[in-house]
Chains A and B, each alone.
Chain A
Amino acid sequence: MALDPSFIGRSYPASPVYQVSRAKIREFAEAIGDDNPLYSDPAAAQAAGYSDVVTPPTFLTIINLAAINVVIEDPELGLDYSRMVHGDQSFVYNRQVCAGDELRVVVHIEDIMHRASNDFINMRADIVDADDEIVVISYAQLVVRDAAKPEEAAV
């Protein structure tokens, strides 16, 4: 079942505030095996010119995923989660996010396409700080694949 193209251009309400913490950054850095001191040592981060420890480039997947899930679970859109895979992901960084930042996510549906029995949905998530400045923009493409070919693009 193809997704309804009238959802193109739709924006979702801003997510609740997420406070970036030293502990979560450290936990995430350990989970990806990265021992860069800027992720764990506030003194090292301050010496590099930051207010506090900094986030690894993909750290904001934590709030990006939560915001995308709101779209995935939108009953009006009717996306079949069991056949969905992450097609691509990119981040544009306007500034480095640090511990102490208070962030919200606003998700927009930029495009919906149907090709070769797969649905593609392109989403943009604006991640904004307490001053309403966009600090990071996340672009994600989700693919709702044909149930007959599950092994091809599943991640």
Chain B
Amino acid sequence: MTAVGDELPSLSVQVTRKDLVRYAGASLDFNPIHWNEPFAKEVGLPDVIAHGMLTMALAGRVVTQWVSDPGKVLQYGVRFTRPVVVPNDDKGATVELAGKVREVNEDGTVRVDITAKFDGKTVLGKAQALLKLP
């Protein structure tokens, strides 16, 4: 049985510049702050940063790998609190993702809190999913 406090299997994902270009093409989000270093620095960023929606997608994997079926996700939301800065090297940035059951409801739904960390700091706030368990 699922209980409050249960931890979901965590994930560690490496994000390189190549991954950002690939995600830009897949999502059709071509904002240059995600691939053009001079542009990113011109608007005051330390370097190229990952798409917030990519970080949200990676955090969503914690939930979908736990329930197996993405159709069990009823709601999913995040707040973007800090950028994931991606240097131009082979390693890129490492994002650490985890999840924990916050509520088990009588209607068979479960609320999960998700955490996403880069460089030891959280990059998503209020990251939560509401799931329907089988």
**What is the interface of chain A, defined by CB distance below 8 A to chain B?**
24, 27-28, 30-34, 36, 38-39, 48, 50, 54-58, 61-62, 65-66, 82, 85-93, 95-96, 139, 150-151, 153-155
Contact = CB atoms under 8 A, between A and B. Distances in A.
Interface residues of B, number: 45
Given A54-B70, A55-B70, A150-B44, A93 B75 contact: yes
B29 interface: yes
A39 to B, nearest CB: 8
Nearest to A31: B26
B80 A153 contact: yes
Contacts of B43: 82, 150, 154
Contacts of A91: 75-77
Contacts, number: 126
A86 B52 CA distance: 7
Contacts of B98: none
B57 A32 contact: yes
Interface stretch (B59-67, B86-94, B101-109): B59-67
Contacts of A36: 64-65, 68, 70
Interface of B: 13, 19, 22-23, 25-29, 33, 43-46, 49, 51-58, 60-61, 63-65, 68-71, 73-83, 126, 129
A96 B19 CA distance: 26
Contact of B23 (A31, A48, A96, A150): A31
Contacts of A32: 23, 26, 54, 57-58, 60-61
Contacts of B49: 154-155
A27 B26 contact: yes
